[in-house]
Amino acid sequence: MSNKNLFIIDVISSDKIQFIDITEKVTSLVTSSNAGEGVCHVFTPHTTAALTINENADPDVKTDMIKGLEDVVSEKLGYKHAEGNSPAHIKASIIGASSHIIVEEGKLLLGTWQGIYFCEFDGPRKRKVYVKIIAS
């Protein structure tokens, strides 16, 4: 892409439902952008995937989040969508397609235990995440 502060991260999921930690990739892009202060926008253009910021220290958190979403969004409601992936659309809408992180002194202003997750709900697939860094 032509804008030096717009980046694309390719994400390949291996499971139908999967949370993939992309924190290091986003952090690397922020560092290479030389944005001292500003905002980092992270967006996925897929209707059956999402992005979230949550704990990345204990892998059980990912497992519990997936289980919780499975309990909230039943696979057995007789959805009408022909592709059969309505639960993935609903989960993606609940979580959301973007996150915004403050950049301070060239670093993402994440909490000690926070990480950025790409949330796959209709995999396995090859996906994209757009990262836009706006320096102030």
pTM, rounded to two decimals: 0.94
Query: What token pair was written down for 116?
Result: 């950025």
Asked whether residue 101 is domain-assigned, the answer is no
CATH number for the domain spanning 14: value is 2.60.120.460
- What CA–CA distance (Å, rounded) separates 115 from 126? 21
15-71 pLDDT, tens digit each:
999 999 999 999 999 999 999 999 999 999 999 999 999 999 999 999 999 999 999
Number of domains in the chain: 1
Confidence of residue 2 (pLDDT cuts 50, 70, 90): very low
Q: How far apart are the first and last CA of the chain?
A: 21
CA quadruple 49, 54, 59, 60: dihedral sign: negative
Asked whether residue 102 is domain-assigned, the answer is no
- Domain residues for the domain of 33 are 6-96+108-135
99-130 pLDDT, tens digit each:
999 999 999 999 999 999 999 999 999 999 99
Q: Which residue has the higher pLDDT, 76 or 10?
A: 10
Amino acid found at 50: A
Structure confidence at residue 80 (pLDDT): 86
Asked whether residue 103 is domain-assigned, the answer is no
Asked whether residue 19 is domain-assigned, the answer is yes
Choose among 12, 20, 28: nearest CA to 116.
20
121 SS3 class: coil
